[in-house]
Amino acid sequence: MVTTLGTATISVLVVEDNRDICENIAAYLAKHNYIVDFAYNGISALHMAQAGHFDVIVLDLKLPGVDGLRVCEQLRTEAKLSTPILMLTARETLDDKLRGFAAGADDYLVKPFALQELHVRLQALNKRSHGRTDNVITVADLTMDKATLQVHRAGKPIDLTPAGLILLQRLLEQSPSVVTRDTLETLLWADEPPDGDALRSHLYKLRQVIDRPFDKPLIHTVHRIGYRISEVD
């Protein structure tokens, strides 16, 4: 099913087995000049994602046959597809999110969700990926391959926790811009961050492996606002 209205700005593949949700998404996005196509199971999603030229993929975690995590992993590691993936799911624990990001998802939206938020997230993902021809993000001598989740600095491999990978990817994608604390906390814990300054702890651990062994730090704190990755402090 393809839905269009006027001049399309973003082409989206929605992988969701609930037909009512699909119809609601189609009706809303059509008003904003999207081209929307649908797959209702994991096998169809794998074929359509590789055969089509989509700007963004919205992928439900729970699918008949091949589940969303496996679809995401295959698209990233086997098909080498760099199309941004927004994981859509009713699960909302941090462990579920970490598994989704580790599988290669770029963003995460928990059901039930507002269609306006879906629209904004799709725009952001499309904007971040515009002009990128591969999965590798590079700032100075630091690189991250989004498909394999391999991180190197000055040619040396760096091992990161799932949370560290999530934070690093967002900081690299936004570089040299500042990513606010609220954005990073929402990325990890949605609307329920743990007590204490858990974000600072995660950033400390990230700095220990990204910056400490090297001469020049790349992760910078912007006081009372957030963090950024840049060659220049």
| Domain final residue, candidates 129, 144, 179 | 129
Model pTM score: 0.59
d(CA 150, CA 112): 33
Residue 42's pLDDT band, with cuts at 50, 70 and 90, is very high
39 plus 106 within the same structural domain:
yes
Residue 2's pLDDT band, with cuts at 50, 70 and 90, is very low
DSSP codes joined into one string, 101-133: HHHT-SEEEESS--HHHHHHHHHHHHHHHTT--
| Domain final residue, candidates 129, 152, 176 | 129
pLDDT digit string (tens) for 104-147?
A: 888 888 888 999 999 988 988 887 776 454 578 889 999 998 87
Token pair for 195: 């007590």
pLDDT digit string (tens) for 14-40?
A: 999 999 999 999 999 988 888 899 999
pLDDT in the model for residue 57: 96
In a domain, 1, yes or no: no
Closest CA to 57 of 70, 43, 71, 78: 71
The residues with which 228 forms a beta bridge, in sequence order, are 220
Compute the CA torsion angle 227, 108, 71, 85 (nearest 10 deg).
Answer: -60
Task: Map residue 143 onto helix, strand or coil.
Answer: strand
62 plus 89 within the same structural domain:
yes
By the 8 A CB rule, do 144 and 150 touch? yes
pLDDT digit string (tens) for 188-223?
A: 887 677 777 899 999 999 999 999 999 999 999 999
CATH of the domain at 187: 1.10.10.10
The residue range of the domain holding 144 is 136-229
Closest CA to 18 of 68, 51, 55, 64: 64
188 plus 220 within the same structural domain:
yes
The residues with which 110 forms a beta bridge, in sequence order, are 89
d(CA 111, CA 113): 5
145 plus 93 within the same structural domain:
no
Question: Can you tell me which residue has the tokens 């926790």?
Answer: 161
d(CA 124, CA 104): 17
